[in-house]
Every structure is written in structure tokens, then in C-alpha cells.
A and B are shown apart, each in its own frame.
Chain A
């Protein structure tokens, strides 16, 4: 159930995601690994008769990476035998695989990477449903992306990467071709496939006739106030400084200034994004400080051999 007989045809990575991954890896002090998030789509076989001669009639799966999470240390979600600890991954969704980066090594999977991928692809509760396909078919996280640098690399920095799809039946790694999705005319079709990962929250909405009596009633009853508070906190997760009450002016008979109201909403949402970004920056600085501290401790351990 967790490994379809359909082959994984390709891996698509948006350009900025790949660049951000490579930047993260090349700025880390040592080898790192992490998780890959995304979705898998089923592409129905094309039945047009005038397709090119070697169009495959076999239906295919396309995996897309939409994000990643980089762990600062090795043996993060697995142990030294490569066995994945499901409790560390219990809150992840959309997990499609993992990646590993190691400098100055050959571009082939190692013992541990094989074990981790094998363990990850057979961990229960992780497989995700495939878009465009029947809801019963699931895709287990079985994609492995390997980053290395060449052995002799002095003046030019080169980053090599290769993707593999783990086939549990043999078991072995099958090479997987990567499509880097960039902005441009050739990729216009991809715009339609974007789906937001954080949509506006669903707020209860009533079209009611606006009489002063109704408004008063809404604001004064306890239940009404609690509902308003709840709605406001939901709205505050994606906009900053926007009153819930103003949303009602975007619909119904009051929506004459619809455009400016919408622009206002978007402006507040951008404000929210900015303040979130500042929070992330501050917390990143704290994480970096902690990582440096940990590294110093590890150096001490590494050099203490022979003292015992």
C-alpha cells in the first residue's frame, strides 16, 4: 500500500528552493542533513495521437519539493544504524524524503544513507496521498537527495547533487532526474499548480441586514464577544492590525470600497509577514549562538581522547 508500482518519473524543485538549500549547505561548518517536504502528483498518460514518437504511454508520478528543514547535527532523526525514530517525525506532514550533504565525498549513497532511506520509506503514518489520484494510493517518503563537493576543488566552488528514488522491493536506489523550475515562459504552466500552504483562516460569516439594533446585539452579548475574539485571533495569524469587523465591509451591500478594503487587507497581511520575518531573524541568531556553543563543546570532546 505504501509503494505504488507506478514509477516516479521526475523530481521538480523550484529554483529558489534549490538555491536556498545549497546556500544553507555550503555555509554550514560540517556535514548536514535534513528533511524534504512537498507533494506528489499523478500525471495521467497523454492520449493525443500526435504526440512525439517516444512519449511514454505509462502513467507517471511527479514529485515536487516545496520546502526543506535542515538539521544542525548528524544522527538527528535516525540512530547510528540508520533506523528512523518515528517520534521525532510525528508532527511532520508532506514529508516526501530527505537529503544529505557531505563535502569532498563521492556522489554515491553510503551505508547509513541507504539504511535511513529504507527505514524512512517504511515508517508507518508518514506516506502521503497523491494528488490527482484515488485517495487510497499513498506515497511513502522515499526520495533521497545527495549533495557533495568534488574531491579536488580549490578555486572554484562546485556543488554536485543527485536525486534517487528508493525502491523497497529490491531494495535499491533508482536514479531520479531533477527538473529545476524557474520563472520563465517555459514554466508558465507551473503557476497554475501553485497552491497556498497557508490559506486565510475560515471565519464564520453571516450576511445580515445592517440595522443598528443588530450591531449592538452582536457586540454586547457575551457569546457574540467571545466569537469576535476568536475570529480576531484567527485573523491576527495572517494580518497585523486588521479589525475583524472591517472584513464584513468587503461583502454585501457595504462593499462599495471593495478595492481599497482589499488593498488594506493585503497591506496588513504584508505587515504581518514582515514582523514574522523579524521574529525568525531574531530566533535564528539565537539558534546560531546555541550551535556555536554546542560546537565548542564537541571540540572539547574530540580532543579529550587519551586523557582518560
Chain B
């Protein structure tokens, strides 16, 4: 993301914030507050990840007054959020926040990050307080048992049409997944969360309805492990989070460990293709999800792409052929559709898997060659 058009002091602080914030922060609605654009861009909206969603805060700098700290406008639902006047939170925290603003140094690129970090921490406390004030016995019980966990975030959402709900984002498993992957390229620590949404109970309802549960993870984890494949244990009547979470975590832990071990299996599979196809042109060395080989059938030279899912070997790799001798009118090399229907059994030896793919492709490549030359205008 380039920040052209910002005066240097703003762009330095914004760059630092985006690169060093523990999670991915997004910037949008970049505008200039000046009468003309001469001063430069000086206001924008930050999308800050919170509770498995984003909160939008508007940051107002002033290109004309670089020495002043930026001002912040919160979302329309957070009218009562006043970080500088939070009752009950006394002591060092308050002073630290006040110092960030009163000792603002516009030349220090780390200042914006410090400000946003501090504001976000206070926002967590503010939401906690709001949820604590909800008049629902089940919620009060849940909060008392679950709050000892690190990193829980909660949010009240109420709209004109929707009933009031409280959403919890519970980080699962204390394991450092990044460390488990050899040569891990991930910049941020990958985590899995359980999203629990409780409808706020009406007093006259006899049995409270179970909460809605959903597993969510940071995006890069998908290369290793897909949470869509996880089946959540069912929520029994009268259960509470303190009972439900340990089972879920245990099962997830096993699945993640298994997913890591599958990397090696995929690697061995790719290596087993080498004797038949030659060394791969390209392969993903960390997660072993993709490999590309050069092949030829007679004088027809083509590329074979293998896309290996996290469910390998239960699920066979998807194959795609790409011609090196035919291009479409738009200048793109001709490709076959994804081929995933071919004889397969997960119980075969890796070498046999390689052989069967080889045989399949030997036949399929003739079809592909015909397809390519047929759709080519004849010279």
C-alpha cells in the first residue's frame, strides 16, 4: 500500500502503524481536509480488527498544523466511549495515555501506533463493561467463568431491527502454530478463534436458545489447515463455554498437529513424481500445496500443475494442463479445466500414485493437444 500524497510526517506514522500493528489493519477513505489539495491528504479511516470483525475509526490529522496530535472519531454505535474519561480505570494506564497525547512528537513514526494500540485496549475494556451491564443471568455467568482467559474480546451489537446480541471472540489453543511449520513465511502469528454469539435473553423465555458458534482463523492459516473441514462438537442444552471449550480445543489441537504432519506426506508425494516427470519447475517448499512440472507428448510440450489440498491423500490432487505452444487471442496460454476425476485410492503407495497420474496424463494430454489445436485458428 503506498501512501502518496500524504505529508511526510503523516505517511511515516501511517507506514509504521500498518507494518507493525500485530494484526492486519486497513486504511480507506483517504481525504484532504484543506480547501485545496495543496496541503496534502490528512484524514483517513482505519479498519481495526476487533472481535473477528472490524471497527472503523476516523483519524483526523491536520496538514496545516503538523505539531498537533491527530483527533479520532469513533463509530456511531460507540457514542459513550470516552477513552480519556473512563471511570474506574485509574492509575498508570490513564497517565500513559495522556502522555501519548500531551507529548506528541510529530517526527516520531511510532506515535500513531502507540495511540491506536492504547485506544484499542481501552475499547476492549469499554466493551467488557457494557457487556457486564447487560441484564442476562446466563451472560453474567459466562463472563465470570470465561474472563480469566487471555485475549477474549466481546462486543454488544444491537440494531433497530435486530435483537440485542453479545458476540465473544475466544482465541483457542495456546500453541504457536508458526513455530510448528518448518521455514514458516507467515508474518503474523496465526490463530484460531471461536465466535460465540449469544442472543440477549428475554426474561420470559424459559430455556435460553443456544449460542451460534463459528470457527474462524487468520487467513494465512488456510495454506496449512482449513477450518471449514472441522466439525464443531454440538452444544448441549444448559452447557456453558467453560465446559465446551476444552473438548473443542483438544480436538483442534490434534487436527492441527495432524495437518502439520501432512506437509511431509505431501512433500514425499511431490518427490515421488520426480522420477517420472523430472524435477519440478516450481514447487511450494513450505506447505507443499503446489507443484508444476514440464512434460511432453511427442512434440507437444506442456506444463502440468498439481494443486494438492489439505485433505491429501484422502482427496486426490487437482491437475491442470497448460500448453506452451498455444495462446488465446488475449495472449493467455491455453489451459485445461481442473481435472480431479481420475482413478485414485488413498491407500496406494506414493510411487503407485505417481504412476497412475502419469498414465492418466499420458492419455489426457492427447485430448488436451487436440483441444488446443482445434480452438486455434488454422494458419
Contact = CB atoms under 8 A, between A and B. Distances in A.
* A and B interact: yes
* Size category of the binding interface on chain B: 35 or more
A9 B86 CA distance: 29
B65 A104 contact: no
A30 B33 contact: yes
Given A102-B33, A151-B29, A172-B79, A298 B72 contact: no
Interface in B49-84: 58, 60, 62-69, 71-74, 76, 79-80, 82-84
Nearest to B78: A108
Contact of A118 (B36, B58, B67, B85): B85
Given A29-B35, A104-B31, A308-B107, A75 B71 contact: no
Given A80-B101, A305-B12, A305-B107, A110 B71 contact: yes
Interface string A93-123: 0000000001111101111111100100000
Contact of B34 (A30, A109, A115, A151): A30
A171 B71 CA distance: 19
B16 interface: no
A302 B58 contact: no
Among A79, A112, A113, A151, the one with the most B-chain Cβ atoms within 10 Å of its Cβ is A112
Given A81-B101, A105-B60, A298 B85 contact: no
Among A80, A106, A109, A302, the one with the most B-chain Cβ atoms within 10 Å of its Cβ is A302
Contact of A108 (B12, B39, B76): B76
B64 A306 contact: no
Contacts of A118: 85
Interface in B26-44: 29, 31-36, 39, 43
Contacts, number: 109
A258 to B, nearest CB: 53
Interface in A209-257: none
B278 to A, nearest CB: 51
A79 B72 CA distance: 15
Contact of A81 (B39, B66, B76, B98): B98
A24 to B, nearest CB: 12
A59 interface: no
Interface in A162-198: 171-173
A278 interface: no
A301 interface: yes
Interface string B258-301: 00000000000000000000000000000000000000000000
A29 B73 CA distance: 21
Contacts of A295: 64
A75 B66 CA distance: 12
Interface residues of A, number: 40
Contacts of B344: none
Contacts of A30: 33-35, 39, 62-65
Interface in B337-355: none
B378 interface: no
B39 to A, nearest CB: 7
A117 B72 CA distance: 15
A303 interface: yes
A104 B12 contact: no
B106 interface: yes
B193 interface: no
A67 interface: no
B104 interface: yes
A261 interface: no
A86 interface: no
B102 interface: yes
Contacts of A75: 65, 68
19 contacts: A27-B35, A30-B65, A31-B64, A81-B84, A105-B33, A105-B43, A106-B73, A108-B73, A108-B79, A109-B73, A111-B83, A115-B84, A171-B85, A298-B64, A301-B67, A302-B7, A305-B8, A306-B8, A308-B107
The 6 tightest CB contacts between A and B, nearest first, are A30-B64, A302-B66, A305-B8, A104-B31, A305-B9, A110-B73
